[in-house]
């Protein structure tokens, strides 16, 4: 889905394990063990990758149970390609797929790192605090 004058193409799907890890670390996110990524990627409910001149430069995924809960994860764009609307395009594709296929009333969450909450707000996401607080734990 490339438009004239736009050098970026978005495709449905997920990257391979090495590309996933390269995108996360390249965008300043934490790395994930290759075995964990290999086990997790096939369980993606919906994914989007962004490409420039044959190279994957961004991605985003939706994971969840396919019915009542979904989470948007791994939204990232390599720094040299940021500021060109790719994050918005990735989020637009992810939210459009949720609106199209997820059951009415499904709970969709995400964790916003740094100023990314400004991007996510454009797609209807609001802070849960103080009513609830996001928490995490590493295994």
CATH of the domain at 52: 3.40.630.30
Say what the pTM is.
Answer: 0.92
pLDDT (mean) for 112-134: 93
pLDDT at position 113: 87
Q: Is residue 40 part of a domain?
A: yes
The C-alpha atoms of residue 119 and residue 88 are separated, in whole angstroms, by: 7
In terms of residue numbers, what domain contains 27?
Answer: 8-121
Tens digits of residue pLDDT in 7-60: 999 999 999 999 999 999 999 999 999 999 999 999 999 999 999 999 999 999
Contacts of 59 (CB under 8 A, 6+ apart): 14, 15, 20, 23, 47, 48, 49, 50, 74, 75, 76, 90
Hunting for tokens 């994930």 — which residue is that? 32
Tens digits of residue pLDDT in 29-44: 999 999 999 999 999 9
Tens digits of residue pLDDT in 75-88: 999 999 999 999 99
Q: Is residue 100 part of a domain?
A: yes
Q: Is residue 51 part of a domain?
A: yes
Number of domains in the chain: 1
Q: Is residue 90 part of a domain?
A: yes
53: left (phi over 0), alpha (psi -120 to 50) or beta: left
């Amino acid at each position: 889905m490339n438009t004239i004058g736009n050098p970026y193409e978005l495709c449905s799907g997920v990257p391979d394990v090495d590309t996933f890890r390269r995108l996360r670390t390249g965008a300043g996110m934490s790395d994930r063990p290759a075995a964990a990524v290999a086990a997790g990627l096939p369980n993606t409910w919906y994914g989007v990758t962004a490409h420039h001149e044959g190279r994957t430069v961004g991605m985003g995924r939706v994971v969840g149970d396919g019915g009542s809960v979904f989470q948007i994860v791994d939204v990232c764009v390599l720094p040299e390609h940021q500021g060109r609307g790719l994050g918005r395009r990735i989020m637009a594709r992810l939210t459009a797929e949720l609106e199209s296929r997820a059951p009415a009333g499904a709970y969709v969450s995400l964790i916003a790192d740094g100023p990314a909450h400004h991007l996510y707000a454009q797609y209807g996401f609001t802070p849960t605090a103080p009513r609830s607080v996001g928490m995490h734990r590493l295994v």
